[in-house]
Amino acid sequence: MVINNNALISKIKELARVHNIPEAVVQDVFNSQFQFFREVVGNLNFHDEVSDEEVIATKTNFNYKYLGKFYTHPKRVKKIQEIKIKNNIEDERD
């Protein structure tokens, strides 16, 4: 992931300098939290007729300081499934 936020870039440079590690390492640490999120959510396997209880039971919540809480919501899961069906999109995990 390429970081374009000037404040974040300066913070990465500062952390690299303070801890005497390469900027690329600091950037990888920062990006790893989002890679983990994508992997976990990407591995959720909801079938076509998923119930609200099944989505809620996954308890897939991520809290990011300054960004907020990311979670799976039954209405959003159903909306994404409708879009996939409408656009005839195959699940890339198959």
> pLDDT tens per residue, the chain (94 residues)?
566 788 888 999 999 999 999 999 999 988 888 888 888 777 776 666 777 777 777 777 788 877 788 877 778 777 877 777 788 766 555 4
Q: What is the pLDDT of residue 22?
A: 95
Helix (H) or strand (E) holding 64, with range, is: strand 61-64
- Give the pLDDT of residue 25: 94
For the CA atoms of 55, 75, 93, 71, the dihedral, rounded to the nearest 10 degrees, stands at -60
pTM score, whole prediction:
0.54
Gap between the Cα atoms of 64 and 12, Å rounded: 17
Burial of 82 (0-12, 13-18, 19+ CB in 10 A): exposed
Report the SS3 class of residue 55: helix
Q: Which amino acid is at 22?
A: P
